[in-house]
Structure formats: C-alpha cells, structure tokens
Amino acid sequence: MKMYVISDNTDTRTGFRLVGVDGVVAHTRDEIQDALRLALEDREIGIILIMEKMAAQFSDIIDDIKLKRRLPLIVEIPDRHGTGRKKDFLTQYVREAIGVKL
C-alpha cells in the first residue's frame, strides 16, 4: 500500500518525496480534482494525504470521496505553517491512537 500527498507547497511535497511518498502540488480546484482522480485510479494507493487548508477550501470534493469510497483513506494534515488546532494536537492524537507518549 502506498501513500500519496497532495500539497499546495513545493517544499512540503519535496519533504514527503524524500521519505518515499510521491505526490503533486496543486492550487486550483481543477488541479486538485485531477490529482485526486489520478490517485483514486491507482489501486496501490491506500492513503491520500492532503493539507488541512486545501481540504477545508475544497471540502465538497473531499467529503464526496470520503462518503462514496472506503479506500483510499484521506488524511488531512497540517502544512508547514502549522494548523488551527491546539498546540499539542498531533502528540495527543498519536497517544490516543496507539498509546505511545512522545
């Protein structure tokens, strides 16, 4: 199972690429729809990572996919500028999900 990242920033995409996660930089609605279509066609992709800001901006597209498909899992992640969530959100999320204190 592969992961795929859809980012609005080249630096973020490059960071993921360095750890072996392929992806694309997209800014417009059409670019995001094309990126999602290509990712959904690839049966090896099990997780699509998308920036929180993009997911909020194009929530109708993301929600439609989440409601109609079991796979791939779409995970909204903060961009390089952070998130609107509380400071220790990610640490708390990992601790609750897998029981490991970071």
**CATH code for the domain of 28:** 3.40.50.10580
Positive or negative: CA dihedral 82, 74, 67, 24: positive
| pLDDT grade for 51, boundaries at 50, 70 and 90 | very high
| 92 vs 45, more confident | 45
pLDDT score recorded for residue 99? 76
Mean pLDDT, the chain, as a whole number?
Answer: 87
Amino acid occupying residue 15: G
pTM value? 0.76
Rounded to 10 deg, the angle between the 59-68 and 29-41 helix axes is 20
**What is the domain count for the chain?**
1
Domain that holds residue 30: 2-98
pLDDT score recorded for residue 101? 67
pLDDT score recorded for residue 40? 94
Token pair in block for residue 44 = 């090896």
Q: Is the pLDDT of residue 102 over 80?
A: no
